[in-house]
Amino acid sequence: AGRAEALLRQSIQRHPNDAPSLHTLAWLLLTRGQAGEARPLAARALELSPDDAGTLATLGRIELAGRNLEPAESLLRRSIAADATRIDALVGLAGVLRAQGRTLEARDVLQQIDRLGQTGPTTSSLAAAERGIPVYLRQELEELREALSGAND
């Protein structure tokens, strides 16, 4: 990952308006817990490519990490509107809704994920892996399922 980050930074230095490189570096930093550093990169990528579902999802998840729930929800919903199969946006939206106390809506989003056929009602990491959930989202999805299964409406 260190090499990937270095290559992305070099690419951005040479091509500062390369939205895919900006987005990819932002995503990489987010997955490492560096949302603060990722935010301006994702914001710039979104300026350059305002309808990109991946960038919308990444910036939405960055806002969620910063507990900026309203902008997170808006960005994640825009991502899902552009591509209803974006698992990262759907998991992020479920997290936002849970953080806002909107348990029923969060459960509905988890059911939407289930309907995509990418996961089932199980919380097993192996089952998630077999159904195509990216590694970085598996634990988050399992935690959401567990929290929402016992939560009051």
106 C-beta neighbours (distance < 10 Å), count? 22
Q: What pTM does this model have? A: 0.87
Q: Beta strands of the chain (E only): which ranges?
A: none
Query: pLDDT per residue over 25-78, tens digit each?
Result: 999 999 999 999 999 999 999 999 999 999 999 999 999 999 999 999 999 999
Tokens linked to 90: 């759907």
Query: pLDDT per residue over 67-103, tens digit each?
Result: 999 999 999 999 999 999 999 999 999 999 999 999 9
